[in-house]
Amino acid sequence: MSLLVLRKFAQALLVLLATAALLAACAGASAERSPRELLRLAVSGLSAPESYRFALTETGSPRQENWTGEVRRHDGLRLLGAADGAPARTGDGIRIGGEDSYNPSALLEGLLDQAASVRLDEARSDGDEAVLMIEPDASRAAALWSKRLSAEGKRLSPGRPLQAAGMSYELIVDRHRLVPVELTERSRLLFSAGEGRSEEERTLRFRFDTKP
């Protein structure tokens, strides 16, 4: 084997070793990021593109609904239609553009300021995805659901006012691209009903399409 061939082989080997070291360093840096930093970077990553689309599944009272939507940086939220192809409702309050209580970008930005705790679910996380468990400030749930219920047209009548609300979030983050993959919001609502009380459980699941 000539000296020139050996030199080229050595150079190629050095490039491969340097690339492997860089990838390992990036993976190590991602693994060392704190849960709050991952949340902050995911919110920043979601705000970078001019627009993105998502699929939304809403379960609980009164029924399950599946929607596709789009968020544009300057225009806010626009629900494009139901999963079965039906057009999105745009005149009933919660489906109009700019309604931040159903805008995933606005929800995540709010959590940056109002998250009481953010922790990593290590058992469900790996080198590709991080699963964050987020508990918002106690006042957030009641304020957000009062706004949603009012927008739905379900006015908080004296016969069934919202008494309390609890809420938690689960956010799956792509460790490499630092963007959200899926956001799940789980809520428990407590209403006064005459002399008794009634409960409802609501779940919103956003699946993001942020591919370049």
d(CA 40, CA 25): 21
Q: At what angle do helices 138-151 and 104-114 cross, to 10 degrees?
A: 150
Same domain? For 62 and 115 the reply is yes
pLDDT of residue 186: 96
If one counts the domains in the chain, the total is 2
What's this model's pTM, rounded to 2 decimal places?
0.76
More confident position, 44 or 79? 44
**Same domain for 133 and 190:** yes
157 lies in the same domain as 200:
yes
The encoded tokens of residue 128 equal 């590709």
Q: Identify whether residues 11 and 40 lie together within a single domain.
A: no
The domain containing residue 79 runs over which residues? 35-209
Same domain, 17 and 92: no
The two structure tokens encoding residue 49 = 């593109």
Domain co-membership, 25 together with 82: no
Higher pLDDT, 209 or 9: 209
What backbone phi and psi angles, to 5 degrees, belong to 145? Answer: -75, -30
Which residue pairs from 54-57 have beta carbons closer than 8 angstroms and sit at least 24 positions apart in sequence?
Answer: 54/104, 54/206, 54/207, 54/208, 54/209, 55/83, 55/206, 55/207, 55/209, 56/102, 56/204, 56/205, 56/206, 56/207, 57/203, 57/204, 57/205, 57/207
Clarify whether residues 82 and 9 are in a common domain: no
**In angstroms, how far is the first alpha carbon of the chain from the final one?**
45
Q: Is residue 115 within 8 Å of residue 135, measured between CB atoms?
A: yes
b/e burial code for range 169-206 (CB count within 10 A of at least 16 → b): bbbbbbbeebbbbbbebbbebebbeeeeeeeeebebbb
Lowest mean pLDDT among 8-12, 122-126, 148-152, 173-177: 8-12
Specify the length of the chain in residues. Answer: 212
- What's 194's domain CATH number? 2.50.20
pLDDT at 24: 47
